[in-house]
Structure 1
Amino acid sequence: MSFIVIINNLLFLSLSVGAVCVLYTQGVGNREWREYGRTEVIDNTLNPDFVTKFILDYFFEERQNLRFDLRLERPLTNEDGTFTICHKTEVVKNTLDPVWQAFKIPVRALCNGDYDREIKIEVYDWDRDGGHDYIGEFSTSYRELSKGQSQFSVYEVLNPRKKKKKKKYQNSGTVSLRFMSSHVTNPLFLLLFFFSRTQINFTVAIDFTASNGNPSQPTSLHYLSPYQQNAYSMALRAVGEIIQDYDSDKMFPALGFGAKLPPDGRVSHEFALNGNPDNPYCSGIEGVMEAYYQSLKSVRLYGPTYFSPVINHVARYASLVKDGSEYFILLIISDGVISDMAQTKESIVNASALPMSIIIVGVGPAEFDEMIELDGDEIRISSRGRFAERDIVQFVPFRDYIDRRGNHILSMARLAKDVLAEIPDQFLQYMRTRGIKPQCPPQSYSSKLPAAPLQTQI
């Protein structure tokens, strides 16, 4: 005898409502809405269950605005309650104990993403002339099948006709599920699984050294114009507004370095922008912006430009997390030459073994040779003979993203796209090298506030 198995999935019956959902996406520069796609029309219900799925490319580094419009239109098509074939096995000939080869099938094709949707498996005795003899069937679901990952599953193959005619009929045989494995092979989906379970902790560090110029003068990079944002504000908002969507509590430590602080004029390279060293957290990017503006009014720009204190600050917290439940991103915005290059390299080499990434945005007209050196795209940085375990630094000069037509929205979108482009790969590389899989929702970073105030100063 020769056997073949046919797997069918159920198309649910949906009563029409004359409703259709239209998806619009928004352009980055001009903010215009464009129609991306639309669902089928569902008739006669206040709770339409649309079958059509919208498939969009996901970009970690961009804000992707979507708009869904519900409309009343004439019905076009509906699921009708019948089964449709989603897979056929090969034919196994000349045996009463067939073993079919393993096969792969997307979850979308198997059950349209619905783990509890009914799946029917039919078994036939294959005939060369195409008149295959029906042996029987059984029903299951993806959720039930997935138990085969941890246990051996046996299903009875039943023929409803024989069961109805013969009182002593038990079954027409059994089908054993010997092995099932469900996994994500696309890095994008793996990234989304991680992001749904990993707390992203975002920290800001802003350069308050004197090389930025007097904040009260229009020539200063810190100048607060009533008409437009300065380079620091634009860089901070461009990156922060994307990152904050991945931080569940949206409470961000905001630090400054290279300034003299009131009341005694001590120089600090790790001070809280909100003036509270015991709790440097700000609520959302708007809170960070407000703390930045207030700091410009209270501190005195000084120097030198030290990066290592703020890197070590974030690294202290990252070193406490080894299970992948949290990942740390530090944004440094600075205008010039790094004064503690050797110490900064050592800090980065140490941090490369931690769940941490560093973004550096250079503002102003400087050449930024040292900041480019820290970005290990071509040559992995080293310190005292040790090389960084992985590249965790991304540097971009802000001036390369200034739109000549004065479109600041487009400038900020381009900047955010490039500075955040490497974060997903850095994130996944850390998880993979540690053998870490997505975990349950983590404890918030804000619950690990330092017991003592920030200390780094001169």
Structure 2
Amino acid sequence: MDPTSTASQNCSRIELTIWCRSLKNKDVTSKSDPMCILMLKNEENDKYEEIGRTERVENSLNPDFTTKMLLTYHFEIKQALQFCVYDCDEGLSNPKKADELGSLRVTLAEVVQGHLRNGRLLEESGNKQATLFVTARETVDCRQSYVFNFVGRKLDDKDFITKSDPFLVFHKRNSHDGFTPVGQTTVIRDDLNPNWPAFRINCATFCDNNPQLELKIDCYDHERDGKHDLIGTFYTTAAELTSQSSGKEFQLIHPKKKEKKSSYKNSGLIFLERHKLEEDWEFSHFVQAGLQLNFTVAIDYSASNAWEPKANGSTNNDSPIRTLNG
């Protein structure tokens, strides 16, 4: 069954947030670079199939993944999930070459009921305290995304020899009177006046499709050991971010610096240069709009290709039992 399908009335769209604590360190000179892959059991072939994966968090044994997993919860169907955590030193595309940090099999119903909110120990983790946390919340099926272009100016320098390596982390207010991370920009190296590449995020993921939902945006100085230094924070809403075409200015405030210094103003400025709203088109939309595809197959029967089963030099010799009929 398609995990993104909402054809049944007895179902709801679910967003999963994942984080881990006390993972085993598989590296020698640094810490593990964890990534989590979510798999759903296919009842037809009794195999677990990947339906999504988080980003790779560098040098962290306690990762807070910002990538959300979206799937459909069917009330009348048992949906078996498997969470697999890897140390991916070689990147996201090749988990088979990565070190396993543990896995956990549960049902989606357990996740929805909050059984993993307080964590559950990972199996075969190499560390008896390695724990996986997952929360689920109902969300809307939204086909639009925000695209933001942020720049920073006069950010605090948190490094001694070089300059700060700033990046932004976006959080939205949750129902537990806290904030949930939903995404982050790329890291800009050695720059106190960064121009971040365009940040694109689905409206439902960003703010539950509610422009008035409170958002928290943190600016950090990236550190290779995973202990990123906070430069400052500001609070806003999607409505405020999109209220004008460009030039919106926000002050980064560091809470501890503000408490210690009466003359403290800010730790830098963040400007929203541009923003836009884009449609999230899928293949079905193009088909419904009249897209036509043409498929052409050509088979070369020329004598130069030596169509003989025993001809080792033939380009057609890919099967020892192939014969030419007619």
Say which structure is richer in helix.
Answer: 1
- Fold similarity call, TM over 0.5: no
Question: What is the TM-score when the length of structure 2 is the normalising length?
Answer: 0.35
Question: What is the TM-score when the length of structure 1 is the normalising length?
Answer: 0.26
- Tell me which structure has the larger Cα radius of gyration: 1
